[in-house]
Structure 1
Amino acid sequence: MSLVYPDRETNMVGKTSEKTDRFLGKIAQLIPNPLVVWKTVFGSADPGFASEMTILTHLRPTPDGTEVAMVTKHIPAGIRLEDNEMGCRQTLEQLAAYVVA
C-alpha cells in the first residue's frame, strides 16, 4: 500500500520518499469481534523506519455500536510517537465518519 501526501502538505515527510509512505502489511491474527492484529513493514532504506510494527485493533460491542481502540507496538525508532498517535486518531476518525455516513 502507498500513502501519498498532497503537495499542499508542507509538514508531512514520507518514509519511502518525500511525499510517499509505502508499506507491506498482513493480518497476523483475527479473532472475530474482539481483535485484529496487523503487522506492517515500511518500505524505506532508512533502518529507523524499516522494522516491523504491530497494530492491535480491539473491538468491543456497546449498546450504541462498537467501541474501537488501537494499540501500536514496536514502533520503528524513526517514527515520532506523536505522529503515530495522530495517524491512529485520524484512522479512527475516518472509520467513524465512514460507518456513520
Structure 2
Amino acid sequence: MKGQSGQGRRDTASRVIDAPADEIYRAFVDSESLMQWLPPKGMSGIAHAYDFRKGGRYRIELRYEDSELGGSGKSTDRSDVSKGRFVELLPGRCIKQSVEFESNDPAFAGEMTMTWSFDAAPSGTRVTITADDVPRGIKKADHEVGLKSSIDNLARFVNENASKS
C-alpha cells in the first residue's frame, strides 16, 4: 500500500526482548501503558483517543522535552500529533496501523503504515517495528533512532512489569 507521500521508504528497528510475545503485546492494549514506553528518549506522550481494536482509531501526541532531539515538531514547534487506525491485530503476533501526522508542512503528508511484529527467538521474542511509506520530511537517521528508542523503552517496560507480577 503506497502512502500519499509516494516515497515508498522503509525504516525499521528490531530487538530481542526477554519476554513472551503475549506479554509484549499487552503493552499496547491500553493508552496508559502505551504512553509509558512509546515516546522516544527526550519525549513524553499523551493519548487523546485510543480504541485498540481492528478498525479502531487513535490520536496521540508526542512532546519534545529534551533539546538533544532538536525539539522541532511536525505539528507544533514542540510536538508531533498523529492519528490513525488499527488495520490488523493478531494477538502475540502482529499489530499493523496506519499513521498520518497533523501538519501544515506537505513534507509530512501522507499515510505511513507501521507494523509491529513479534517472532519467537531463542532468548525471548524478536520485536520488529517496520514503517512503510515514511513521509519525506522525516529524516531516516532520526526516525531509526526514535524507533530503536521506543523498542528499548518497551523492553524496559515489559521487564519492569514482569518483575511486579
Return the TM-score normalized by structure 2: 0.57
Q: Of the candidates 38, 44, 54, which is equivalent to residue 97 of structure 2?
A: 38
Q: Is 1:59 aligned to residue 81 of structure 2?
A: no
More strand by share: 1
Q: Once superposed, what is the RMSD of the aligned Cα atoms? A: 1.4
Equivalent in the alignment of 2:154 = 95
Distance 1:67 1:9 in 2: 31
Cα drift, residue 3 of structure 1: 0.7
- AA aligned to 1:84 is H
Spell out, residue by residue over 1:16-53, the C-alpha distance to the aligned partner (whole angstroms, 9 max, x if none).
Answer: 11101111022111122221111110000111102111
Distance 2:133 2:141 in 1: 14
Q: List runs of 5+ in structure 2 lacking aligned partners.
A: 1-59, 161-165
Report the secondary structure of 2:109's partner residue.
Answer: coil
Identity %: 30
Q: Is 1:5 aligned to residue 64 of structure 2?
A: yes
Cα drift, residue 63 of structure 1: 4.3
- How many pairs were matched up? 100
Q: List runs of 5+ in structure 1 lacking aligned partners.
A: none
Q: Of the candidates 52, 64, 76, which is equivalent to residue 17 of structure 1?
A: 76
More helix by share: 2
The 10-residue stretch of structure 1 (23-32 or 42-51) with the greater mean CA deviation from structure 2? 23-32
Return the TM-score normalized by structure 1: 0.90
